[in-house]
Amino acid sequence: MATAPKANIVREDLLRVEGVTKIFDGAVKAVDNVSLTVATGEIFALLGGSGCGKSTLLRMLAGFETPTKGRIFLAGEDITDLPPYKRPINMMFQSYALFPHLTVWENIAFGLKRDGMPRDKIAERVEKMLALVQLTKFAQRKPHQLSGGQQQRVALARSLAKRPKLLLLDEPLGALDKKLRETTQLELVNIIEEVGVTCVLVTHDQEEAMTMASRIAVMHEGYFMQVGAPDEVYEMPNSRQVADFIGNVNIFDGVIEEDEADHVTVRSAECMHYVGHGISGHSGMSVGVALRPEKILLSKEKPTGDYNWCAGEVVEMVYFGAHTTYHLKLASGKVIKAQELNNTRDLSYGLTWGDTAYAHWNEHAMVVLTQ
């Protein structure tokens, strides 16, 4: 999607976070020994539910919180103790925090004036930013005279005006309604790439993280569970929690029977799994087999073969328009979800409540989770 220019990135670390921990009130560990590097030009997303520590980490980057332990470096310089107004970092705030008493023009010029830039230079820069976000016509309006989408663009222009080395985005699309969000997402990424600024963004919305970021860190209880490109995190989750947090997943508990270099077989209560890749494990080890609902095919006929299928009763059908999700109750009592594309207008697979259906999948559909 928007991650195409990933290959062109010059790998040069701009931001380096070393073992940062933040403890509130001497007890609550909001961020727990986090380290990360962000390369110049990258869009890095911190993804997690509320209270996972992503906002605290972002606020430490901005300078609103000081780490209890650890250091933060920007372009090789230690900025850990620098107050926010001395950092070459700017932030686009959640729900924008535009100054309500200032016009769009004055909002964008606000940071430039603090730097003591000459007037004509400020005017020039503000005009440029207004053109970038296509708000030239609205320069003299106050924030409340703008729509949500326009406010968001002013906030972006304001945070880019000082040409920060690093741009922080706090839930950049959180205040917009769903339909506006999709178009704005692309617009935002286009502008960021045009300017070429390095970004760290915080979001609780996995779709937003996947479409905008070149790398994602999945955060939970203050630490990183997994860091990787969007497709890596989705297709190769490294733990049950990540698999469960990103998208929908069925997890079969089982034990490794065969452990070969090019494949493994896992026996679970429901069926035998033949996984088409090797893992670092050993036979007899308890593992989880993760299988995404969209990778399951349903049929009324019993599949042939010994592996990767099971039978169940349709207990629930949920229609989403583009696809339908079937809930299948297996003989063991476990309920799995299978998602089928509605690729014809003839809606049903001929399946309905109470029917017996066979779920099957291929050997590359699964991931073995050892933790």
Q: Rule CB under 8 A: which residues touch another protein?
A: 62-64, 77-78, 81-86, 89-91, 93-95, 97-101, 110-111, 114-115, 141-142, 144-147, 149-150, 158-159, 162, 317-319, 353
User: Is 138 or 361 the residue whose CB approaches another protein more closely?
Assistant: 138
- Least distance (Å) between residue 136 CB and another protein: 15
User: Is 40 or 94 the residue whose CB approaches another protein more closely?
Assistant: 94
User: Is 57 or 367 the residue whose CB approaches another protein more closely?
Assistant: 57
User: Is 115 or 124 the residue whose CB approaches another protein more closely?
Assistant: 115
Q: Please state the φ and ψ torsions of residue 23, each to the nearest 5 degrees.
A: -115, 125
- Least distance (Å) between residue 212 CB and another protein: 21
Cα distance between residue 318 and residue 211, in whole Å? 25
- Least distance (Å) between residue 90 CB and another protein: 6
User: Is 169 or 246 the residue whose CB approaches another protein more closely?
Assistant: 169
CB-CB neighbours of 212 under 10 Å: 26
- Least distance (Å) between residue 59 CB and another protein: 8
Q: Is 174 exposed, middle or buried (0-12, 13-18, 19+ CB in 10 A)?
A: middle
User: Is 128 or 302 the residue whose CB approaches another protein more closely?
Assistant: 128
N-to-C CA span, the chain: 30
- Least distance (Å) between residue 239 CB and another protein: 34
CB 311 within 8 A of CB 357: yes
The contacts of residue 230 (CB under 8 Å, 6+ apart) are: 3, 209, 210, 211, 213, 215, 216
User: Is 138 or 252 the residue whose CB approaches another protein more closely?
Assistant: 138
Enclosing H/E stretch for 226: strand 223-228
- Least distance (Å) between residue 114 CB and another protein: 3
- Least distance (Å) between residue 24 CB and another protein: 12
Cα distance between residue 77 and residue 88, in whole Å? 11
CB 317 within 8 A of CB 327: yes
Q: Is 316 helix (H, G, I), strand (E, B) or coil?
A: strand
Cα distance between residue 246 and residue 206, in whole Å? 7
